[in-house]
Amino acid sequence: MHHGTVPFIAKYNADVHLQPNKRKFMSSSIIQPVIREASTVILGKERQIRLALACLLARGHLLIEDLPGVGKTTLAQALARLLGLNFHRIQFTSDMLPADIIGVSVYDRDTGEFKFHPGPVFAQLILADEVNRATPKTQSALLEAMEEHQVTMEGETRRLPEPFFVIATQNPSHQVGTFPLPESQLDRFMMRIEIGYPDHDAERALLQGTERRDIISALRPHLEPAELAELQASVRTVHAAPPLIDYVQALVEHTRRSPDYVTGLSPRAALSLLHCARAWALLEGRDKVVPEDVQAVLPGIAGHRLRPVHDGVRSSAIDTAEDLMRSVPIP
């Protein structure tokens, strides 16, 4: 975790007390146990858990890019169980075909008809593991499903279950035999996060503690599907005041004007930024977005969409976002 580089994002949660007379946003109390319990599985990564949840609440898809073994799958599984979602894991390989994801129609000799066997994409939470090992053709089949929330097979369109949430993982792309997602595909993911190594204490607790798999299987759902849908709906009601929208615009416009970036942030990225900030505010128990919410989700939103011009040593997403944040004053 990049402790040094996020000086004022994570710290204030514990310190700030809201006005007692203000009604706490009802939804935040439902979600807090989810965060708490997930933190017992993936130790010392509360920030990443919150980001993943914010992304889920904002109805976006999440890309986790990190080395093998830092807990990507564990995070996905834990979230699936805690949120009461049915879960499929798809391990991507280079010989995989679109049908391996979407499903196939098989001729049934008894009925004399083709019967559709749904693929693993028909689940509420998909873990698309090592998505960059599949060929572009297979990748795009998944990405289309993500975009449309439906798959079309032999002229027949089938809705995917709701909510539909994809957590894709990707190994750092300089490994052999991978097809790194192109920039246009990366934009389909609302957020990209890195998990990173655990810090010293967290690692010790991990080594001393129980088997992760056992903890996950012991987890109980904390939300009904309807409650999750309600939460997702209430994200839209989080208030974004004009000065806050000014701030989002200032950030986005800076990336377009500044010569430091190859390309600026797209309008879709701007929408994602605002929407994720709303979800983050909701997780914080606020009924309005403050600049800190925007700053909290900014690395996840902007990191994979911005490429600095002078990118000698590939700078991390958090560094890029920190630079951006520092150069734009809050209006």
Partner 1 sequence: MTPTTLPPLNLAVLLAGLALAALPHVLHLPLWASATAAILFLWRLAISWKGLPLPSKFVTVTATIAAIAGDILTYRTIFGRDAGVTLLVLLLALKLMELRSQREIYVVTFLSYFLALTNFFYSQTIPTAVLMLFTVYVVTAGLIGFNAPTCRPVENLRTAGALFLQAGPVMLLLFFLFPRVDGPFWGMPQDAFAGVTGLSDTMSPGSISRLSQSDAIAFRVKFDDKPPPRPRLYWRGPVFWEFDGVTWRPGGLPLLQRGVKFESLDAPVDYEITLEPHNRRWMFALDLPGRLPPRTRISIDYVLLSVRPIRTRMRYQLRSYPSYRATAGADPEDIRLALSYPRGFNPRAQRLAREWRRTLGNDEAILLQAIDFLRTGRYGYTLQPPLLGANSVDEFLFDTKEGFCEHFSSGFVFLMRAAGVPARIVTGYQGGEMNPVDGYMVVRQADAHAWAEVWLGNRGWVRVDPTAVAIPLRVNAGIAAAAPQSAPLLMRTRLNWLRTLRDNWDALGNKWNQWVLGYNPDRQREMMSWFGVRSPSWQSLAMALFWSVGSVIGIVALWLFARYRTADPTQRVWLAFCRKLGRAGVVRSKSEGPLAFGARAAARLPERADAVHAIAGLYVELRYGKDADKGSVARLRSLVRAFHP
| Cβ pair 248, 294 in contact under 8 A | yes
DSSP 78-107: HHHHHHT--EEEEE--TT--HHHHHEEEEE
**Binding-site member from 5, 32, 152, 327 for partner 1 (CB under 8 A):** 327
In whole angstroms, the minimum distance from the beta carbon of 59 to partner 1 comes to: 23
Note whether 9 binds partner 1 by CB under 8 A: yes
Please tell me whether residue 131 binds partner 1 under the rule CB under 8 A: no
Stretch that binds partner 1, among 63-71, 132-140, 166-174, 255-263 (CB under 8 A): 255-263
Residue environment code for 83-101, b if the CB has 16+ CB neighbours within 10 A, otherwise e:
bbbebbbbebeeebebebb
Upper half-sphere CA count for residue 216 (Cβ side, 13 Å): 15
Cβ proximity of 97 and 135 under 8 Å: no
Task: Give, as one character, the DSSP assignment of residue 68.
Answer: T
Contact letters for partner 1, residues 11-50 (x by CB under 8 A): xx--xxxxx--x----------------------------
Question: Which residue lies nearer to partner 1 by CB, 8 or 114?
Answer: 8
In this complex, which beta carbon is closest to partner 1, that of residue 227 or of residue 323?
323
Binding of partner 1 by 289 (CB under 8 A) = yes
Question: Does residue 277 touch partner 1 according to CB under 8 A?
Answer: no
Neighbours of 148 (CB within 10 A): 13
181 vs 273, beta carbon nearer partner 1: 273
Residues 6+ apart with CB under 8 A from 9: 47, 292, 295, 296
User: Burial letters for 47-78: b for 16+ Cβ neighbours within 10 Å, e otherwise?
Assistant: bbbbbbbbbbbbbbbbbbbbeeebbbbbbbbb
Closest contact distance (angstroms) between CB of 293 and partner 1 is 8
If the CB atoms of residues 16 and 218 are measured against partner 1, the closer one turns out to be: 16
**Nearest residue (CB) to partner 1, 115 versus 256:** 256
The partner residues of 128 in beta bridges, in order of sequence, read 90, 168
How many chain residues touch partner 1 (CB under 8 A)? Answer: 30
Q: Which of 48, 74, 295, 320 binds partner 1 (CB under 8 A)?
A: 295
Stretch touching partner 1 by CB under 8 A, among 10-18, 34-42, 127-135, 163-171: 10-18
95: Cα separation from own chain's centroid: 26
Q: Is 239 in the site for partner 1 (CB under 8 A)?
A: yes
Q: Which residue, chain included where needed, has tokens 């010293």?
A: 200
Applying CB under 8 A, the residues found at the interface with partner 1 are: 8-9, 11-12, 15-19, 22, 239, 241, 243-244, 258-260, 287-292, 295, 325-330
